[in-house]
Amino acid sequence: MSKILIIDDERAIRRALREILEFEEFEVDEAENGKEGFLKAKSEQYDIIFCDIKMPEMDGMEVLDELLEAKVDTPVIMISGHGNIETAVQAIKKGAFDFIEKPLDLNRILVTVRNAKDKTVLIEEKKVLKKTVNRFKGSSIIGETEGIMKIKDMIEKVAPSDARVLITGENGTGKELVARSLHDLSDRKEAPFIEVNCAAIPSELIESELFGHEKGAFTSAVKQKKGKFELASGGTLFLDEIGDMSASAQAKVLRALQENVIQRVGGEKDIRVNARVVAATNKDLRKEIEEGNFREDLYHRLAVILIHVPSLNERRDDIPLLAEHFMTLVCAEHGIARKSFNTDALSELQKLNWTGNIRELRNIVERLIILGGQEITGEDVKMFANPQVV
């Protein structure tokens, strides 16, 4: 049974609406002023809200603003005996579902309620769909071996929090995919996911890349530039290969993590940032700390949660699943009919030494698709698995 809240300071209006709605078998709740109505709408689940505009203390427009601010997505129908076109337009622009003038018309009420119920159904369907999509994104890590199942379980537990995560593993194991899954299953999923490859940026430019710079900070700084910390504010900042970051940049990242404050290169103004930091490395940071290459205090700031991604050689049972996955992707990218692996081909793939991990497997699958027949055989794998110099 649908539940409707009526917010109106006139007892007669509340009674009239209640009688109409209960006759149509709705469950009805009442509030005699805006403040009481807002508290009820925020704490309980309603399918539709009727709200009068002219009320003492807190009027209907204020109630509507507060509901929107509190992210209450229940359709709100505004009612007023002092209404005009301007008031109606203003209410709809603010986010009201509809506007009805007093005296209330029975047919208009029932039509509006029916339409509002349809919207409520759509809202719920959208929520379910978004959850399904997000779970699909989060489960895009392919594999069923014990190590991968532990990672999936860890992601599901950790993603909703803002805890910092340090992802370790060899090159090509899929550390970025773990980071993206953490973002896609978090409350920050609508905000940016910003990636920085610390190994690919020269040490003299890494600070400008992370924190931005002011105009004239250095020779080529012809205009102000926001850094990745600012761009990722509200979302997730993924610091890949953080073990290659310079000592100077490490000190500034540590301050950013401690205080949620940065300064652009060449600037003196503190800028507040709110980015969840996820870092990754293929290095043994404990060893790097012992050798004086990495700050221990930064390590402890980053490694609130540790996730280690196993190498492909440690999860050979996942190779058939991964090979089939890449077969589908690559054939679609090349616009060709899907090919298939026979049992011998998958067996041969499992025997190889995967020094390049998942990235290497994808490349070999693409090579087999281009050079092999409609059915990829074990002989194809033996022939084409290693690059041929022509």
Stated as kind and residue range, the H or E segment containing 387 is none
Q: What is the pLDDT of residue 48?
A: 94
Specify the 3-state DSSP secondary structure of 302: helix
Q: Do 3-130 and 313-384 fold alike per CATH?
A: no
What does residue 341 show for φ and ψ, rounded to 5 degrees?
-100, 140
Burial 46-80 (b: 16+ CB within 10 A, else e): bbbbbbbbbbeebbbbebbebbeeeebebbbbbbb
Q: 76: Cβ–Cβ under 8 A, 6 or more apart, which residues?
A: 49, 51, 64, 67, 95, 96, 97
CATH 3.40.50.300 fits 313-384, yes or no: no
Assigned superfamily of 3-130 = Response regulator (3.40.50.2300)
Residue-wise pLDDT for 135-189, tens only, equals 444 447 899 999 999 999 999 999 999 999 999 999 999 999 999 999 999 999 9
Per-residue pLDDT for 219 more than 80? no
Calpha distance 369→375 (Å, rounded): 9
Domain extents in the chain: 3-130, 139-310, 313-384
Q: What is the pLDDT of residue 128?
A: 57
pLDDT band at 14 (very low <50, low <70, confident <90, very high): very high
What does residue 76 show for φ and ψ, rounded to 5 degrees?
-110, 125
Q: What is the pLDDT of residue 130?
A: 58
Q: What's the DSSP call for residue 74?
A: S
Q: What is the pLDDT of residue 196?
A: 94
Considering the domain 139-310, what is its CATH architecture? Answer: 3-Layer(aba) Sandwich (3.40)
Exposed, middle or buried by CB within 10 Å (0-12, 13-18, 19+), for 173?
buried
Mean pLDDT of the chain, nearest integer: 90
Tell which phi-psi region holds residue 172, choosing left (phi > 0), alpha (psi between -120 and 50) or beta.
left
Percent of the chain with pLDDT over 70: 94
More confident: 307 or 267: 307
* Four-CA torsion 338, 342, 345, 346, nearest 10 degrees: 90
Q: What is the pLDDT of residue 105?
A: 87
Least confident among 222-226, 245-249, 279-283: 222-226
Q: What is the pLDDT of residue 125?
A: 67
pLDDT band at 344 (very low <50, low <70, confident <90, very high): very high
Among the ranges 87-101, 102-116, 349-363, which has the highest mean pLDDT value?
A: 349-363
And the tokens for 277?
A: 């930091």
Burial 139-161 (b: 16+ CB within 10 A, else e): eebbbebeebeebbebbeebbee
Calpha distance 272→137 (Å, rounded): 30
What does residue 257 show for φ and ψ, rounded to 5 degrees?
-75, -35
Percent of the chain with pLDDT over 90: 70
